[in-house]
Amino acid sequence: MKWFQNLSITRKLVLAFCITCMITLLMGGFSLWRMMLANTQIEQINSNWMPAVQQLGEMRAQLGEFRTYEQSQLNYQGNAEQLADYDKRLADTRGLIEAAEKAYDDIETDYTAEELAMYNKLKEQRSAYFEAHERIAAAIAADDFDGARRISSDESRKLRRVLFDQLKLMSQYNQEQLAKDVAASRLAYQRSLVAVIAGMVLSLVLAALLGWAIIRSIVQPLGEAVRVADDVAAGKLDRRIDASRRDEVGKLLSSMQRMQAQLQAVIAAQQEMERQHGAGIISYRMDQGAFPGDYGV
């Protein structure tokens, strides 16, 4: 830490300011990065898994309604008004199913191989079910209700059940992925919270250490300078002064060292003059040119 001691007080403070700013920027950058990751996870949940679960649930619900209308229609042979009403209900419900399927298709995401395989199978089963329904509708239109009931009982019921199970399977898959993303988002939040708190604690520790280092680099040598001044005032000129530092405090200690040496030289010259006078050489005087300023008077 010699290089730090040799820095001027101004540079020490500038260094402390720069380090503090750098820590602040790092903490801010880290927080922004974690927020962006969290936002990406939230967008993935909101734009992918949640809409998928919603649309698949809508398809399941409307498929149940569709099957109910399909079976109810078989009870109204000869009632053209009721048959027409159910035809409209079936058409509207089928439109809702197709709208939900289109909304599912419109979700911007890359299907996993497992999800794509399930979805392709779902499309095949949906086509088979509606193909059976078309044959039921044709039989009803031909007033062949026995044939319509046979298709409904032997084919449509099984196809609807298989289709419903496939929708349930896909819903479970998407719900599992949604739960995983929610858990990952919660874990990321907890980790971010711990990381930010750790960063704040680390920043406080670094700031405290930096402040302690600056205070110590100033207060300790200043205390030494005060002790030297006290010794000089008390007539003690034998204290060793470390003036190796090159900051303002080091310059002060260096000046104190020169003052100490100058006083020692003046005292030594006075002692020599006293010795000469004691030897009878009354004309002996201190060399005024050897001492600067008032020391030479």
DSSP class of 239: -
H helices then E strands: how many in the chain? 8, 0
Q: Is 226 exposed, middle or buried (0-12, 13-18, 19+ CB in 10 A)?
A: exposed
- Give the pLDDT confidence of 271-297 residue by residue, as tens digits: 878 888 888 888 777 776 667 666 655
Specify the pLDDT at position 257. 82
Low-confidence ranges of the chain (pLDDT < 70): 1-2, 4-6, 288-290, 292-297
CATH hierarchy code of domain 7-209? 1.20.120.1730
| pLDDT attached to residue 41 | 79
Instruction: Report pLDDT for 136.
Output: 93
**pLDDT of 4:** 67
What are all long-range contacts of 12-15, with beta carbons under 8 Å and residues at least 24 apart? 12/214, 12/217, 12/218, 12/247, 13/214
Query: How far, rounded to the nearest angstrom, does the alpha carbon of residue 140 sit from its chain's CA centroid?
Result: 63
pLDDT score of 1: 61
Structure tokens at 1: 């830490």
Place of tokens 């509207």: 92
**What per-residue confidence (pLDDT) applies to 36?**
86
Distance CA 118, CA 97 (A): 17
Amino acid identity of 295? Y
